[in-house]
Amino acid sequence: MSKTELTHEHIHQSHVAIVKRLKRAEGHLRSIVTMIEGGRACVDIAQQLHAVEKAICQAKRTLIQDHIDHCLEDTVGALTSGEKAPLEEFKQITKYL
């Protein structure tokens, strides 16, 4: 990563919600460690790990889709709607990440 990339502020509206989701997942993950250390049933632990995994995946999906909607759209903004068709298809397929 270049120095410019590190210092360039790059914030979208969705970032606040993503950070909130990740902080919740972080706290939840800490509680799972406590569950493991406390000898809780594996099925209970697996269920909680699944919930954390889903939260992180959703945060990733939101970040990627937001990047496509804002950063890539800005880059190809001057294209005609017909020329944007591949980007629209790409946006649609990212919903399956």
The answer to whether the pTM exceeds 0.75 is no
The pair of three-digit structure tokens given for residue 97, joined into one six-digit string:
């990440």
Residue 1, pLDDT > 70, answer no
Higher-confidence position of 83 and 58 = 58
Q: How much of the chain exceeds pLDDT 70, in percent?
A: 87
DSSP of 56-84: HHHHHHHHHHHHIIIIIHHHTTTS-TTTT
When the pLDDT of each residue in the chain is averaged and rounded to a whole number, the result is 84
Query: Which CATH superfamily includes the segment(s) 14-96?
Result: Metal-sensitive repressor, helix protomer (1.20.58.1000)
Residue 39 has pLDDT above 90, yes or no: yes
